[in-house]
Amino acid sequence: MSKKDIKLEAQALNAYYGDFHALKNINIAMEEKNVTAFIGPSGCGKSTFLRTFNRMNDYIDGFRVEGQILLDGNNIYQKDVQVDELRKQVGMVFQKPNPFPKSIFENVVYGLKIQGIKNKAVLAEAAEKSLRQAALWDEVKDNLNKSALALSGGQQQRLCIARALAISPTVLLMDEPASALDPISTAKIEELIYELKNHYTIVIVTHNMQQAGRVSDQTAFFYMGELVEYAKTKTMFTSPKDNRTQNYITGRFG
Amino acid sequence: MRVSEKIIEGLLWLSAVITILITIGIIWVLLSESISFFQVVSLSEFLTEKEWTPLFADKKFGIMPLVAGTLLTTAVAIAVALPIGLTIAIYLNEYAHARMKQIVKPLLEVLATIPTVVYGFFALTVVTPFLQQFIPGMAGFNALSAGIVMGIMIIPMISSLSEDAISAVPRSLREAAYGMGSTRLQTSFGVMVPAASSGIVVSVILAISRAVGETMIVAIAAGQQPRLTLNPLVPIETITTYIVQVSMGDVPRDSLEYKTIFAAGITLFVFTFALNNLSFWIKKKYQEKYD
């Protein structure tokens, strides 16, 4: 098997909330069309780290970053980078489903509309494609004008995934996407991630060790703002190198 | 229960009841006085007659000129306050830093603490002469200046309540918009404002209600000539101005002229009461529910 290209990379990354040193000298490289899971106890910095890849922390007062994040080899923290353009390449799915209080259709095509696409046929086609990719099409195809808020939690989350996919990103960041969902919805999301990795580079933050084991190719363990261990998921779960990793994945703390 | 507790509970109950009794009392006075007015002047004359001249020899009792004056000044005020107030609300929410917000918001509220009589003279002695340089035919008393200044007065009402409504929209929605590559402007107008629309509409309705009931500014700057017109450049009279005019004049008590102020008063009351209830209803019905 040929070695895949590096899609995302962090180099000597430090992040601070005011005086609090949230991420300490992180170095990591993630391959294209792979699923990488970030695990670690609450407050370890995994979500903060995930949000540096689409600069979602920019709006937090007192937050600052040192070092580099490379997307396809380009530093996204460079001055001339347009944040809104970056986020069209790096989509995000949040912990709690957060559809807009609009119809299902309007939710899916939101990203296209703000890019100025008005052609109804184009929008309808994109909506169907994204909803199919997110395994939601069959459930909602007859109710596209229904309010998105009327969907179940699991459906809402798949709608949010469809919404993110509609603008054809190359990277998909998922911040504990199934933590607010029931087991059946969770299973659907996990299946979906498995499908999506054929087309997208996926980074997923999860609290759920089994989930990390099921969906990811690589796993990174964070502890107190440090990247403790980064390895193939199978390797990490069977023979972790670091004591702290071992303690965490065997449930001794966290 | 201890005696002191009982006394305190009684006092609390009493203050609540007194408030309700006073409200009922006011409505009672308004109603009873206007009923005796409507025994002389028919309701249809009151609503359809196009002139309001109760103080002249040739008495006509059509409320419409006063209603038109009130709506005209109110419309001008909202036309000023809504765009500015909403812009400020969006600015404070999406663009301003936390520190900026802490400074600007209290400063804005100062606008609401300026006595309305000061606003009135500001309209009459500053705004009108200024506007007359551009609009030659403009009268010294007019609805435009009064409306503009009234709009300035209610800016903080709209900006403050709208800002509250926008900041009540869950942060997750803003993040969703940003996460999709929205600019700040797209996030504000495409997501935040629609999601907060019920609260914004309520703020506007309350502002309208405030403008309809506003007295000093229009009494000083808009004139005292009941006129059925939508021209903002000529003197008009609002319902509130008329009530002031008659209350301060030497109209004999219990005369029909005297009773006209209660008829005008109940008209005003119907307007503000309806508006306040409408805002309450919209708030209840259309407020977006985010768990």
Query: Which pLDDT value is given to residue B131?
Result: 96
Residue linked to tokens 């070695």: A3
How do residues A193-210 score in pLDDT, each as one tens digit? 999 999 999 999 998 888
Establish if A1 belongs to a structural domain: no
How far is residue A248's CA from residue A244's CA, in Å, rounded to a whole number? 6
Confirm whether A47 is domain-assigned. yes
Model confidence pLDDT, tens digit, residues A80-126: 999 999 999 999 999 999 999 999 999 999 999 999 999 999 999 99
Domain that holds residue A145: 6-249
Give the tokens for residue A181: 């969902």
Half-sphere exposure of B191 (CA within 13 A, CB side): 31
Output DSSP code: residue B192.
I
Integer Rg of chain A from CA:
18
| Residue B290, pLDDT above cutoff 70 | no
Neighbours of B22 (CB within 10 A): 10
CATH code assigned at A192? 3.40.50.300
Cα–Cα dist A238/A220, whole Å:
14
Give the lowest-confidence range in A2-6, A87-91, A208-212, A244-248: A2-6
Q: Do A94 and B179 touch (CB under 8 A)?
A: yes
Minimum-distance CB partner of A87 among B173, B180, B289: B180
B98, B173, B180 member nearest A111 (Cβ)? B180
Q: Please count the residue pairs, one from chain A and one from chain B, whose beta carbons lie less than 8 angstroms apart.
A: 64
* Nearest-angstrom CA–CA distance, A37 and A232: 10
Q: Give the contacts of B123 (CB within 8 A, at least 6 positions apart).
A: B145, B146, B148, B149, B217, B220, B221
pLDDT digits (tens, 9 = 90+) for B170-193: 999 999 999 999 999 999 999 999
| B179 vs A56, A115, A149: nearest CB | A56
Residue-by-residue DSSP string for B260-285? HHHHHHHHHHHHHHHHHHHHHHHHHH
Task: State the pLDDT confidence band at B213, using cuts at 50, 70 and 90.
Answer: very high
Tokens of A78: 């460079």
ipTM of predicted assembly, 2 dp: 0.90
CA distance linking residue A62 with residue A189, whole number of Å: 34
E strand spans, A18-85: 20-31, 35-39, 63-71, 74-75
Give pLDDT, residue A1: 41
For the record, the structure tokens of B10 come out as: 């009684």
For the cut 90, the answer to whether the pLDDT of residue A3 exceeds it is no
Q: What per-residue confidence (pLDDT) applies to B289?
A: 61
| Residue A175 domain flag | yes
Q: Give me the phi and psi of A55, to 5 degrees please.
A: 55, 40
Q: B176 and A160 in contact by Cβ < 8 A?
A: yes
Residue B117 has pLDDT above 70, yes or no: yes
Number of domains chain A contains:
1
* Bridge partners (DSSP) listed for residue A10: A28, A69
**A181 in any annotated domain:** yes
Chain B residue with the nearest C-alpha to that of A169? B180
Contacts 24+ apart (CB under 8 A), A71-75: A71/A7, A71/A8, A71/A171, A72/A7, A72/A170, A73/A6, A73/A9
pLDDT at B98 over 60: yes
Quote the pLDDT of residue B20.
96
CB within 8 Å: A163 and B98: no
Q: What token pair was written down for A219?
A: 């796993």
Rounded to whole angstroms, the Cα distance separating A32 from A50 reads 16
Confidence of residue B286 (pLDDT cuts 50, 70, 90): confident
pLDDT-above-90 percentage for chain A = 87
Using the Cβ of B171 and the Cβ atoms of chain A, whether some distance falls under 8 Å is answered with no
pLDDT interval class at B87 (50, 70, 90): very high
Q: How far is B169 from chain A (nearest CA, A)?
A: 11
Write the DSSP symbol of residue A81: -
Q: How far apart are CA A180 and CA A209, in angstroms?
A: 16
Structure confidence by residue, pLDDT tens digits, B13-38: 999 999 999 999 999 999 999 999 99
CA dihedral B192, B198, B199, B204 (to 10 degrees): 110
Structural domain contains residue A46 = yes
Instruction: Put the strands of the sheet holding A226-232 in their side by side order.
Output: A90-93, A171-175, A201-205, A35-39, A218-223, A226-232
Q: Is residue A10 part of a domain?
A: yes
User: Is A185 inside any structural domain?
Assistant: yes
Q: Are A48 and A57 in contact (CB under 8 A)?
A: yes
B286: closest CA of chain A, how far (Å): 12
d(CA A164, CA A177): 13
Give the Cα separation of B220 and B72 in Å (integer): 16
d(CA B108, CA B104): 6
Answer yes or no: is pLDDT of B1 > 80.
Answer: no
- Is B179 touching A (CB cutoff 8 A)? yes
B 13-32 residues inside an 8 A Cβ radius of A: none
**The residue type at B272:** T
Beta-sheet pairing, A63-71 with A74-75: antiparallel
Mark out the alpha helices in chain A (DSSP H runs).
46-52, 83-89, 104-114, 120-133, 137-140, 153-165, 183-196, 209-215, 233-238, 243-249
For residue B195, give the chain A residue with the closest CA: A101
Place of tokens 């812009």: B87
pTM, to two decimals: 0.82
Give the torsion sign (CA, B155, A101, A159, A120): negative
At B238-269, the pLDDT tens digits run: 999 999 999 888 888 888 999 999 999 999 99
pLDDT of residue B94: 87
Is the confidence at residue A254, as pLDDT, over 60? Answer: no
- Residues A8, B265: Cα–Cα separation, whole Å: 70
Asked whether B160 and B109 are in contact (CB, 8 A), the reply is yes
pLDDT at A253 over 80: no
Inform me whether the C-beta atom of residue B136 falls under 8 Å from chain A C-beta atoms.
no
Tell me the pLDDT of chain A averaged across its residues: 92
